[in-house]
Chains A and B, each alone.
Chain A
Amino acid sequence: MTEVTGTTWNVYDANTLTQAEIYGRVLCDLAEADPRIVALTADLAKSTKIGVFQDKFPQRVFNVGIAEQNLFGVAAGMAKSGLLPFVSTMSAFASMRALEQVRTDICYQNLDVKIIATHGGVSFGQAGTTHHCTEDIAIQRSLANMTLIVPADGWETANAVRAAVKHPGPVYIRLGRGFEPTHYENEDYGFELGKAVTISEGTDITVIACGVAVYHAAEAAKLLKDQDGISVRVLDVHTIKPIDEDAILKAVLETRRILCVEEHNVIGGLGSAVADVIAASGKGCAFAKSGLPDCYSEVGYPEDLYSHYCIDGDGIVGLVRELLHREFEADEDWEDEF
């Protein structure tokens, strides 16, 4: 199924496929044109949905068994030899089990290895904390040379994978398990690595989100507009590193209230990255972060967990209403300084 919409070849339907399945199809598409592309996994070819790539390019898939340290070390060696490895495994293993290989073998050497980290956040709900990963954004953004993308949905996953091929150096793309709602309608909404997407314009408050939280933030913005008459700007900050400082500062200037929402520990993730930018600007604003409050995750369906941790629409609505009434100190002349 190949069709053209706008400027991009779409080789899938994001409404019927998971993010990881889309990754597999887009990678097939890219691999047709780039013989350097190979796919590696550690006994998760099925779970990370690269089966379609395996069917098409059986000689270009390497499954190293349940051995993630070796997985990333081998990928580093392959990159050193001129290949372009895409490595897929669960985010918990990419970020923690094999962290030192990712850091020392791949990032330190600044190698062209692309990491597809599935089951990010609490998306593997009932599997529990061992198979959740609410630390990876904090971990990966602290690695020099790493580019970190958290796509909102399948369409954005496709854009992220295409961008990763063009972008030299290590890239970490964090996906969910695959049952998340889709926000975009196709690939052609102007995705650009390192540039936030403005989902909705607004003047009262800005909700900065990544991953599945983008969909929920957009839903919350509609509800707040309809019910409360609140004008909510929603930014999809898909690239956590390098982060779009201009979009964040513009939001601070124009809305002066910032809520960050992510499927991650509130320590070290998107919210912290945004806070870094705001703190360095010297500007005061009302600010809040939503995510897991420095705890290990509960078990349950992802949607119940999103609700529990205020990552869903209702949760975001409540946080926005609260943040709109928070006091903060602003410079009298701060607009002059931007």
Chain B
Amino acid sequence: MPLSAEEIRKLQAKAQQLRCDMVDVTVWAGGAHIGGSLSMADVLTALYYHYLEVRPEEPDWPERDRFVLSKGHGGLGLSCVLADKGYFDKELLKEFNHFKSPFGMHLDGNKVRGVDASTGSLGHGLSMALGMSMGARFQKQAWRTYCMLGDGECDEGSVWEAAMAASHFKADTLTAFVDRNHMMIDGLTEDIMSLEPLAEKWTAFGWQVREVDGHDFAQIGEAIEGAQATQGAPTVIICQTVKGKGVDFMEAQVKWHYGSIDSELAAKAKASIMAGGNAGGAAAPATGGAS
């Protein structure tokens, strides 16, 4: 059922709050992957606050839906979501990146409740998500598996090994997202290593492809529901996003892939997020523009 206007309004408000949490944790951590966490924040919000069947009080509930953060450097974003969902005390995030903290930049599933796979090295998550999806089918379980890929991550050959296998095995309970923010550490994806035509690549690998504005909850919701209804093939949802989305001085800036902020800058960042209101989507730049 499509998201109602009221549901969308609540998700937008939740995403605003989560973005502010990410800013706070970035201060506490002394630096974090804020750009790519902000860009995927709306998709994570849609999943964890509407679509995923999970039990924060029972993180290992066998029948839960799985979520694999293949772009593991988004650990900042995911940990803020999991804390807010009640998997663990939000106060713990004050230790993010600190000595012996369970929370590093890339989350360890054996240390952080609610993390379905330890990730960080790119190109690993989609294979693991496929294994989970195949495991569900083999055991006649109904859970669904979702996987968030970075766009730069799609340079990795192992992503395409997994993509080929997922369609071969008709893994229709597997849904991948590509956080298409068009940026990677060294610059624009199309300058460093061209991904386009990205949708056609996934189509050629046998996937159902949907392209959405990754900051528009109505579009995100419709695509997830479309994926849930698709049989015989996995679905990839290519989410056009803006790196640093919501913080005016970070948006579409390559340099905010990883950054440090002090409390003064954090206040400006949060003011910007709150001023953004419920404006919803903004298409990403297809090329150029970032410093």
Taking CB atoms, residues of chain A closer than 8 Å to B162 are 70, 73-74
Query: In whole angstroms, how far apart are the Cα atoms of A82 and B137 in the complex?
Result: 12
5 shortest interchain CB distances as A-B pairs = A77-B131, A73-B127, A81-B135, A70-B161, A77-B128
Instruction: Known A81-B135, A81-B136, A82-B135; judge A74-B118 contact (CB<8 A).
Output: no
Question: Which of A101-109, A200-208, A302-310, A319-327 sits within the interface?
Answer: A101-109
If over half of B's interface residues share one DSSP class (helix, strand or loop), that class is named, otherwise mixed; here it is helix
Whether B138 pairs with A38 at a CB distance below 8 angstroms is yes
Q: Check: A110 CB closer than 8 A to any chain B CB.
A: yes
Whether B165 pairs with A80 at a CB distance below 8 angstroms is no
Instruction: Indicate with 1 or 0, residue by residue over B153-170, a CB within 8 angstroms of chain A CB atoms.
Output: 000011001101100110
Q: How far is the CB of A223 from chain B (nearest CB, A)?
A: 50
User: Looking across the interface, which residue of chain A has its beta carbon closest to that of B141?
Assistant: A81
Q: Check: B101 CB closer than 8 A to any chain A CB.
A: no
Whether A77 pairs with B165 at a CB distance below 8 angstroms is no
Choose from B121, B132, B161, B168 the contact partner of A78 (Cβ within 8 Å). Answer: B132
Q: Check: A64 CB closer than 8 A to any chain B CB.
A: yes
Given A81-B135, A105-B127, 8 additional A-B pairs, CB 8 A: A70-B164, A77-B132, A77-B135, A80-B66, A80-B132, A81-B66, A83-B139, A105-B124
Taking CB atoms, residues of chain B closer than 8 Å to A70 are 127, 130, 158, 161-162, 164-165
User: Looking across the interface, which residue of chain A has its beta carbon closest to that of B106?
Assistant: A104
Q: Check: B134 CB closer than 8 A to any chain A CB.
A: yes
Q: Check: A100 CB closer than 8 A to any chain B CB.
A: yes
Taking CB atoms, residues of chain A closer than 8 Å to B126 are 73
Whether A105 pairs with B158 at a CB distance below 8 angstroms is no
Q: Check: B86 CB closer than 8 A to any chain A CB.
A: no
Choose from A38, A77, A104, A109 the contact partner of B130 (Cβ within 8 Å). Answer: A77
List A292-322 residues whose CB lies under 8 Å from chain B. none
Instruction: Indicate with 1 or 0, residue by residue over B110-144, a CB within 8 angstroms of chain A CB atoms.
Output: 10000011101101101111111111101101000
Can you report 30 residue pairs joining A to B where beta carbons are below 8 Å apart?
A38-B138, A59-B138, A62-B169, A65-B164, A65-B165, A67-B161, A70-B130, A70-B158, A72-B127, A73-B124, A73-B126, A73-B130, A74-B127, A74-B128, A74-B131, A74-B165, A75-B131, A77-B131, A77-B132, A78-B135, A80-B66, A80-B116, A80-B132, A81-B136, A82-B62, A82-B139, A83-B138, A100-B121, A104-B121, A109-B118
- How many A residues have CB within 8 A of the partner chain? 28
Whether B161 pairs with A104 at a CB distance below 8 angstroms is no
Most buried by A among B110, B118, B123: B118
Q: Check: B277 CB closer than 8 A to any chain A CB.
A: no
Whether B134 pairs with A80 at a CB distance below 8 angstroms is no
Query: In whole angstroms, how far apart are the Cα atoms of A74 and B158 in the complex?
Result: 11
Whether B62 pairs with A104 at a CB distance below 8 angstroms is no
Whether B62 pairs with A74 at a CB distance below 8 angstroms is no
Query: In whole angstroms, how far apart are the Cα atoms of A179 and B138 in the complex?
Result: 35
Taking CB atoms, residues of chain A closer than 8 Å to B161 are 64, 67, 69-70
User: Looking across the interface, which residue of chain A has its beta carbon closest to that of B128?
Assistant: A77
List B235-257 residues whose CB lies under 8 Å from chain A. none
Most buried by A among B135, B139, B169: B135
